[in-house]
A and B are shown apart, each in its own frame.
Chain A
Amino acid sequence: MTEQLHDVTLIVNGVPLKATVPGRRLLSDCLRHDLGLTGTHVGCEHGVCGACTVLVDGQPMRSCLLLAVSVDGQQITTVEGLAGPGGELSPVQQGFRDCHGLQCGFCTPGFLTTITAGLADNPAPTADEAREMIGGNLCRCTGYQNIVASVLRAAELTRDAT
């Protein structure tokens, strides 16, 4: 039996991209392998680590816990879509740079997407709210202190820019 294939169109960072995938293709694998967008990292592949977090219609979700075919036609924002058109860093990216919010960088794409949506929801988080915001993402390098500082810095940068 040959495996059933599906044509899907994902609006990734504003650009419609087509792929032909089996039903079992995870969104994380579709982004990385079919569409060549390797910014989304795959850590645990069962929804625990948060590295593969992308925004689906603006909401953070685990791309390893979604089938590509299930989000056909929806808006996907990956880490590649966060910087400005000229490559200028987004406030969250700049916050990470300013506060040393990353070391090896493996978990960083998931943090950046999660925090981007988190700050859209709550533009002025307290330190506790910043911890809650990143509670679903694992980082083995930083000890999280600098990531919390980065969230607060990103909120500050966003405020200053408006």
Chain B
Amino acid sequence: MKPAAFDYSRPETLPEVVDLLGNLGSDGKVLAGGQSLLPLLSMRLAAPAHLVDINRVAELDYVRSNSDGVRIGALARHSSVERDPGARVVQPMLSKALRLVAHPTIRNRGTTVGSIVHADPAAEMPTVLCLLGGTVFVESSAGHRQIEAAEFFQGPLESALVAGEIAVAAFFPALPAQSGVAFVEVSRRHGDYAVVGVGALITVDDDLRISSARVGLLSVSATPLVLDLTDAIRGKSLDSDLSDAGVIAREAAEPEPDIHASADYRRHLVGVLTDRAVREAAAAASDAALAAEPHAGSSQP
């Protein structure tokens, strides 16, 4: 299993990358971490004429957090994002989902933006980007543009990027106040692609009742499936029955069968995992709301 021959360039600045990609057009392919691309090359499922290796473009290696969210450069490895103290606080769903991306050894090389561009419907980070309503930043010789997550994923392994473009960063909005997140999945073996995965983002009001509930599903459709379940569980608190969320999600999902799981089993998992994710996220949201309460500090000595 060896890749087909290709030409190779290793530019060191973003303008050089953009120039190269502009000249190469559809012959050019960006190599970042390569943890998805190299297997495709080795199995000869892909045979680009020219690889543009961005591993020396230091300006793309960053994780920047502020109160709006987390911006991740195209060369930031999963492991750097996972461990970034600022990112953990501003948007905890990143590290929760990244723990489930393959194995630590893969995360040492693979990049978060690369995983998004790869647009695998069984991957975690595209679903996280869609669930949070993030943005992809794109550069080309024609200039720059931003693509909203909902428009970025067009089909399995198909993004909205066109020839000559490079995704230079992804932006993940911050966790809103009084909110919590969870990310759960079932896979055949630890580190495998998920049979089904579910991320949840729940917000509660001052009385700790759910005011907003969204989930993102992976491995159930050609692109990440985001569902707004607010109507199913609005006004409920953590100690009430939240199972309507799972029921609605199960009805909304139309998974395909494959060698790993039947459609029925996947649908079943959607229900079970949605329940789990919603409960965990609601608990985290309640904790966040209690911690932020103005009276919380009054009893301190």
B residues less than 8 Å from A64 (CB atoms):
38, 42
B106 within 8 A of A: yes
Does B8 contact A65, Cβ atoms closer than 8 Å?
A: no
A residues less than 8 Å from B109 (CB atoms):
56, 61-62, 65-66
Residues 121-138 of A contacting B (Cβ, < 8 Å): 132-133, 135-136
A residues less than 8 Å from B295 (CB atoms):
none
A residues less than 8 Å from B55 (CB atoms):
70
Binds B, one of A21-29, A76-84, A86-94, A149-157: A21-29
Report how many residues on chain A are interfacial, defined by Cβ distance under 8 Å: 30
A6 within 8 A of B: yes
Docked CA distance A29–B7 (Å): 18
B26 within 8 A of A: no
Please encode chain A, from 1 to 42, with 1 for each CB lying within 8 Å of some chain B CB and 0 for all others.
Answer: 001101000000000000000111010010000000000000
Does B5 contact A135, Cβ atoms closer than 8 Å?
A: no
A residues less than 8 Å from B35 (CB atoms):
47, 62, 65
User: Nearest chain-A residue to B1 (Cβ)?
Assistant: A45
A57 vs chain B, min Cβ distance (A):
10
A69 within 8 A of B: yes
A residues less than 8 Å from B108 (CB atoms):
56, 59-61
What is the interface of chain B mostly: helix, strand, loop, or mixed?
Answer: loop
User: Nearest chain-A residue to B3 (Cβ)?
Assistant: A24
B residues less than 8 Å from A22 (CB atoms):
5
Please encode chain B, from 1 to 39, with 1 for each CB lying within 8 Å of some chain A CB and 0 for all others.
Answer: 111111110100000000000000000000100110011
Does B105 contact A136, Cβ atoms closer than 8 Å?
A: yes
Report how many residues on chain B are interfacial, defined by Cβ distance under 8 Å: 30
B103 within 8 A of A: yes
Docked CA distance A45–B7 (Å): 21
B residues less than 8 Å from A70 (CB atoms):
10, 31, 34, 53, 55
A108 within 8 A of B: no
A residues less than 8 Å from B103 (CB atoms):
50, 135-136
A residues less than 8 Å from B2 (CB atoms):
24, 26, 29
Beyond contacts A69-B8, A69-B53: 17 other A-B pairs, Cβ-Cβ < 8 A, are A24-B2, A26-B2, A45-B1, A47-B38, A47-B102, A47-B106, A56-B108, A60-B105, A61-B108, A62-B35, A62-B105, A62-B106, A70-B10, A70-B34, A135-B104, A136-B105, A136-B106
A-B contact pairs, 30 of them (CB 8 A): A4-B8, A6-B8, A22-B5, A23-B8, A24-B4, A24-B5, A26-B3, A45-B1, A45-B42, A46-B38, A47-B38, A47-B102, A47-B106, A50-B103, A59-B79, A60-B108, A61-B105, A64-B38, A64-B42, A65-B38, A65-B39, A65-B106, A66-B38, A67-B8, A69-B8, A70-B10, A70-B31, A70-B34, A70-B55, A136-B102
Task: State the 7 A-B residue pairs at the shortest beta-carbon distance, nearest first.
Answer: A136-B103, A23-B8, A46-B39, A24-B3, A65-B38, A45-B1, A59-B108
B residues lining the A interface (CB < 8 Å): 1-8, 10, 31, 34-35, 38-39, 41-43, 51, 53, 55, 79, 102-106, 108-109, 190-191
